[in-house]
Amino acid sequence: MVVMAYDDELAERVRLCLTGVEGITEKRMFGGLAFLVDGHMALAANSRGAMMVRIDPSRVGELTVRDGVRPTVMRGRELKGWLDVDTAALTSAEELDEWVWIGIEQARSQPAE
């Protein structure tokens, strides 16, 4: 069995976006590299060649009309409040930064642990 690793280049780009942001930690999860804000997962470079982004579930319709964006599916189930964004939709620093901040803001809105 071949285990796919997460996209190292994407992870490094995310790290650069997060420079100076308080409360960020990294953790290997689900075959990818997750970025947590104050203990809440905000986004991840996953093993499927995309970035998982935590979103407000009410925004799924608004955000999935964009090219390369779809609901995250794990083990055949859609994860409510998560989207996969293909790296092809993250080519510019501005695109990546927008998605990173969507994830950060949603993670920060979660109740304290």
- Residues forming beta bridges with residue 44, ordered by sequence position: 34, 52
Q: Where are the domains of the chain?
A: 8-108
pLDDT at 66 over 80: yes
Mean pLDDT over residues 36-59, rounded?
Answer: 94
User: Given this model, what pLDDT does residue 37 score?
Assistant: 95
pLDDT tops 80 at residue 46: yes
Class of CATH domain 8-108:
alpha beta
